[in-house]
Structure 1
């Protein structure tokens, strides 16, 4: 058997964001958000379900999986493979935006419902802790008094998860293992929870259409291009930084060089995304956190 890599946004949304994903998503969120304490989530509604058969190319993949829980809490779930500059600010911005847009004009603030942003990342964000799952809330910094639970940010850092199949202790371990390793599995382990077995069946390549497999291939290729661009940006930034450092001081030169190199790498990556994947300038600029004007100027300079 071969399975899709669930770390790609296409496969991730096929598992968790389609019309048939409710039971799978309930199990997943109960395990990662509530640590299966009395299975707090009994029911949910997937907001704007991801209609897999309607996907054409990669333009439609800039969407989070969103769920409205039975207590009216909204959960935003995102799988992020690349550590783009400003990612942590984007997570906070999206959570705050989803919190604020709940009210219409003149409605009372007490009508606001909690928002949870759950981000699964394939890179290390918090090097000062070994914890795989970190949870952030508004809290008083001296006495650690919670302000409220209305905005909550949860991060799952996959590189910190080292357990093998035989070491999995609970359903939380199983779900993290599934996301990290589904693409390299050759069979469905019988020790896994039934919902996770169903999730694996969903991404079993034998059950997919030619169009779905082609879309997944494009997504993996797209991610590979971005990874190479980021690596090139790091190298260019370091090289330029060292060069400037010889002229103006090593410390200042490296800092400026890295900054310029990363910016150039982002522009190069954005240009490839637009040219090879038929994406709009506006979509790519938003995803890469580049101004539309800057990106248009770069494209114009390349074509000239």
Structure 2
């Protein structure tokens, strides 16, 4: 059975289409039998482990202050979609889009149609699921926003693949190529992709290599790298910097000061507050946090395994080239070493070894 959660908070107020707390509990029990979730903290959020998520105090009137809504991970794609992918959040979404797209005066976006607003809870546990925000402008331009927390080292090709799907998906049988509309992809990255470049915002189009002449305006791809904005220790110079600081989980007085100057961010914080006060929403959010953490752990493990095997093979090839068949036993021993630090020590010292006995001594010294 597929359960659909309407994105619009207003839709959740009635019975029609409402997902009950019992349904949420059923999902949780099936997914994490024996695990008890506290409504006031995350039992498996990486932020909870680092102490960022805090208990929220309630005053005598049952009201929780904005400054006390701490710890929500704004690039959790479930939370992101709930904040920016709802009718209530349109003001925040439009503010963010205008900050990124930097449209000329008089052409700023004033409204968009939100597409694919529902979330199937089963996707919250899927590390590879995409919980993106998709919107269409009055002119028909498609805009897709996706958050990427884990570096899978394929964001360039992944972006082109999903852009192409959105672009060709516009046409149905009998339609003409002239009916295709501009498609914009905005990638929010929690990691550095363009290394050696301090710019936190990159925008790409299809242009002539020599003249820069635009071939077609239908393709537009943006990358926002959140890690690079962390180096900025001053007040934001424009709306885009303000939004990126918000997405970087800025809190406290600094965040409040920025929100006072940016109505869109102020609206996002208001929605965020309501989201965080909902026991059901926070539990679903925590499910997604776990899936995201599992993805990062899996990628880190695969990368470490790859680095280990790479070092093992490098050492073995060197031993084979220098000592041949006589080094087979030592090569087998090298392949049993899975400690990166030990392998690095061997690599740094093995080239000074003049004999197999000296190589053995190097290995012994690195592993003991």
Alpha-carbon distance change, 44 to 249 in structure 1, aligned in 2, over 3 angstroms: farther
List aligned pairs for 1:131-142, cutoff 5 A: 131-142=199-210
Alpha-carbon distance change, 181 to 155 in structure 1, aligned in 2, over 3 angstroms: same
Instruction: Quote the offset at 1:186 in angstroms.
Output: 7.4
Q: Whole-Å Cα distance in 1 between the matches of residues 98 and 268 of structure 2?
A: 15
Q: Is 1:145 the counterpart of 2:217 in the alignment?
A: no
Please give the per-residue CA displacement for 1:20-72, whole angstroms capped at 9, x wherever unaligned: 22221111100111267446112110112246xx7467158633210001211
Partner secondary structure for residue 130 of structure 1:
coil
**Corresponding residue of 1:31:** 99
Alpha-carbon distance change, 181 to 164 in structure 1, aligned in 2, over 3 angstroms: farther
Q: Is 1:233 the counterpart of 2:233 in the alignment?
A: no
Instruction: Quote the offset at 1:207 in angstroms.
Output: 4.9
Which of the numbers 203, 207, 217 marks the counterpart of 2:286?
217
Partner secondary structure for residue 243 of structure 1:
helix
| Number of matched pairs | 248
Alpha-carbon distance change, 249 to 9 in structure 1, aligned in 2, over 3 angstroms: farther
Instruction: Quote the offset at 1:172 in angstroms.
Output: 1.5
Contact 1:30/1:37, CA 8 A, preserved across alignment: no
Q: Whole-Å Cα distance in 1 between the matches of residues 275 and 153 of structure 2?
A: 37
Q: Is 1:248 the counterpart of 2:314 in the alignment?
A: no
Q: Whole-Å Cα distance in 2 between the matches of residues 78 and 246 of structure 1?
A: 41
Q: TM-score, normalised by structure 2?
A: 0.62
Long gaps (5+) in structure 2: 1-67, 320-334, 336-368
Q: Is 1:74 the counterpart of 2:150 in the alignment?
A: no
Question: What is the Cα-based RMSD across aligned positions, in Å?
Answer: 2.5
Q: TM-score, normalised by structure 1?
A: 0.74
**Corresponding residue of 1:18:** 86
Instruction: Quote the offset at 1:185 in angstroms.
Output: 4.4
**Corresponding residue of 1:91:** 159
Larger radius of gyration between Structure 1 and Structure 2: 2
Please give the per-residue CA displacement for 1:112-156, whole angstroms capped at 9, x wherever unaligned: 100000001001111142111101111111221110110111100
Contact 1:57/1:215, CA 8 A, preserved across alignment: no
Instruction: Quote the offset at 1:206 in angstroms.
Output: 7.5
**Corresponding residue of 2:267:** 198
